[in-house]
Every structure is written in C-alpha cells, then in structure tokens.
Amino acid sequence: MNLDAVVFVDGTDGFHSDGGGTSRCRVLVVGSGPAGASAALRLSRLGEGDVIVLERLSEAQHRRYHSICGEAVSDRAMRLAGVSTSHVLRRVSSIEISMRGSPPARVKVRGSIVDRSAMLEEMLGASSARRVKGAARSVRRLPEGEFEVETSSGAIVCDVLIGADGAHSVVRRDVFGTRPERLDPIVNTVVPGKPDGVLRFFVGDGVPGGYRWEFPSGEGSMSVGFPKGLGSVPEGAEHGARNIPTGRVPKAWEDGCLLAGDAAGLANPFCYGGIGAALLSGRKAAEAAVSGDYKGYGGWVDRDVMFSRRFMEAHRQFEKWTEEDIEDAAKPLAGNANIFKGLVAMARRPKFAKVYLACWMGFRVGW
C-alpha cells in the first residue's frame, strides 16, 4: 500500500458551523482528548460548574481520531491522574526493546491497553461540562483579561482557557506563539496477531524507518506503529496517522491560560507515551484553573520527571548513534533488565549512559 495515501486525521475536515452568537463561561477547555477530558472531569469534581468543552470533531470522527493510537497507558499515570476506566482491553506486564535484531531487553511494568475512545466518553459523560461542537479558529485576549475564542460555531468568552487541542493547538499558536521541538508523523495499524501482555519496540536497521512498535490490542489483534512513509500497512488493515509532538514548549502557562497534553508537547520522545502525560496535565491544569495558581502549574510542568528535558537531550544524542553503537549498546541489556544491570551497562559504556537512563526512565514514568 502506498503510504502517501494513508489517511491523516489531523486535518480540519468535518467541521460544521452551528450558527453565530457569543457564549460565556468561566473555564473553556478546547479539545476533548485525554487532556481535555481529564481537565473537564477534574473541574467537575472540584465543583466548577461553569465549564464548556469545545470539540471540533463529530462523535464518529472523534472515535476514529482517538482510535489511532497504541492505547497503552501506565497504572502510575492513571493513578496520578485520578482516572479509572471500565474500558481496559488488556493488562500490560512488560516492555521489550529489540535493538538491531539483538535479543530483547525486558523491563517489568504495570499498565493497560485501554479502549481509548470509550474511556474518553466515560470521562466526559461523568463531567458536568457543557459539550460544544466547534473548532477554535483564533484566540485573543480582551482588554479586561478574559479570552475570546472565535469558533466555527460562534465566539466564546471565558475567564480561564485550557488549551487541550493537541499537536496543532490554536491556543498555543495564538496565546504563546510557540511550538514543540518536533512533530513526528506516526502511522498506527491494527493487524491480526496473538496479543500478550508485552509492549514491543524494535530499533535499528532491519526495521523500516529504524523504529516500530507492536502492542497487544483487542482479542486476536495487535496494533503496530511506525514513522509515516517508512513501513507498510497490510492490504485492507485498519490504519491512520497522526503527529506526535515532543520536546515541550518553553512555557505552558500565562495568567488565565494553560496548555496541557500534546498542545504543550508533553509526550515522551523515547516511547511516544502521551496519554498519561495528557491525563495528568489536564488534571493539574484544571486544579490551577480553580485555584488561580497558573505559575504553580508551570513550575510543576518544569519539575515533573515525566516531562524532563533530559528525555529530549538523550533522544538527540540517540539519533546520532551509528548502527554499531546501537548493537554495542544493546548487548549488556539483553534478557531481563533491572537497575543493577543498567548501572553496570552505564559504567562499562559511559558514552551511552544518558540514553540508557532516559530509556529506563521513559519506560518507568514516561507513559
């Protein structure tokens, strides 16, 4: 299959205008992905009753957009985000990474494959926020300090604005004028397979594009992800592509405005885990919207190990590795990897230490 023909669902098709007029609310959440749904849920639980969640996609488009995903999320992230779901497809017990065909290194983890769109529906349904269909087109700050968001279905004026509008965030563009360091277009396809509780990553030559993952999915199926244009989709397989932004923005807050999830570039550059980051940052953004401590939110994003800039530094270093480096780095970690093995590998191969550490931390706290 020609991958240039792979459907990209980041586009703006499918919007429709519901008419004009100006609405008002205290908190406006733009986007109802993991970050927006988590923010809406937390706002409700904190008793904030005057909330609008703005979503550009129809229900069917939303389901499709959010099904383009490996759907793996760690127990740690779910716990910290205060989210539970009845839509778990499978438990995850380990991550395996195979570098350039060498025997895989295996790390024990705890997490799940979730039915992401059903989980989002569950979260949004449990929140008391008003859900408005429309696409944010532009944002401006009014002289009184409020925000006016021009949408495809009229304007919305709010005291507090949460930008949870993903990789191509309009809130980020208009309020902050920044963007994450990278936008990697990734294809996800669902193929028949024997799913187990393992998230598998393959790195190095021999893997088209140098990177691929295979995750368990529903009954009898696996979800496979790889960079767009590199790798192939079996004829007839369900598939789609989206951008994953990584390398977080310089600043995720202004007075009255907060960025969460992909809008802030919070996904992990090593494992591309972004659901947990979105759930957690959505929750924290909601708390800041209620308390008014916007700066505190910014400080939390800067300090939290999940979003450490060291991940991106290590990733830049990793990209310079030769195939021989990859092979050499893989050797000491084959089999069950643990802290002790990792420390020995770092001591013996100090030039790989940053990447070893970032991988380890990524698998522990980055998803």
Ligand X SMILES: Cc1cc2nc3c(=O)[nH]c(=O)nc-3n(C[C@H](O)[C@H](O)[C@H](O)COP(=O)(O)OP(=O)(O)OC[C@H]3O[C@@H](n4cnc5c(N)ncnc54)[C@H](O)[C@@H]3O)c2cc1C
262 belongs to the binding site for ligand X (CB under 6 A): yes
Nearer to ligand X, 161 or 329 (CB): 161
Q: Give the alpha-carbon dihedral of 88, 89, 93, 97, to 10 degrees.
A: -120
Three-state secondary structure of 188-236: EEEEECCCCCEEEEEECCCCHHHEEEEEECCCCEEEEEEECCCCCCCCC
Q: How far is CA 217 from the centre of its chain?
A: 18
Nearer to ligand X, 8 or 206 (CB): 8
Contact with ligand X (CB under 6 A) among 25, 29, 105, 135: 135
Q: Which is nearer to ligand X, 102 or 281 (CB)?
A: 281
214 binds ligand X (CB under 6 A): no
Residue 287 found at the interface with ligand X (CB under 6 A):
no
Residue 54, interface with ligand X (CB under 6 A)?
yes
| Residue 247 near ligand X by CB under 6 A | no
Segment near ligand X (CB under 6 A), from 34-42, 228-236, 286-294, 334-342? 34-42
225 near ligand X, rule: CB under 6 A: yes
253: its two tokens: 């807050």
Q: Could you say which of 44, 117, 127, 188 contacts ligand X (CB under 6 A)? A: 188
Q: Does 95 bind ligand X (CB under 6 A)?
A: no
Helix, strand or coil, per DSSP, at residue 123: helix
- One of 23, 29, 33, 329 touching ligand X (CB under 6 A): 33
- Closest approach of ligand X to the CB of residue 241, in Å: 7
Q: Is 265 in the site for ligand X (CB under 6 A)?
A: no
What does the block give as tokens for 304? 């939290």
- Local structure of 102: helix, strand or coil: coil
- Would you count residue 366 as binding ligand X (CB under 6 A)? no
Instruction: Report the residue number, 36 or 332, with the smaller CB distance to ligand X.
Output: 36
* Of the residues 48, 115, 165, 287, which one makes contact with ligand X according to CB under 6 A: 165
CB-nearer residue toward ligand X: 102 or 283 = 283
Helix axis angle, 34-45 to 275-291, nearest 10°: 40
Of 367, 326, 290, 284, whose CA–CA distance to 72 is shortest?
Answer: 367
Does position 174 bind ligand X by CB under 6 A? Answer: no
Beta bridge pairs of residue 187: 226, 241
Phi first, then psi: give them for residue 338, nearest 5 degrees. Answer: -145, 180
Asked whether position 29 contacts ligand X by CB under 6 A, the answer is no
State which residue, 239 or 321, has the beta carbon closest to ligand X.
239
Which residue's Cβ lies closest to ligand X?
A: 274
Supply the minimum distance, in Å, between the C-beta of residue 280 and ligand X.
11
CA-CA-CA-CA torsion for 328, 334, 338, 342, nearest 10 degrees? -10
Q: How far apart are CA 1 and CA 189, in angstroms?
A: 12
DSSP 55: E
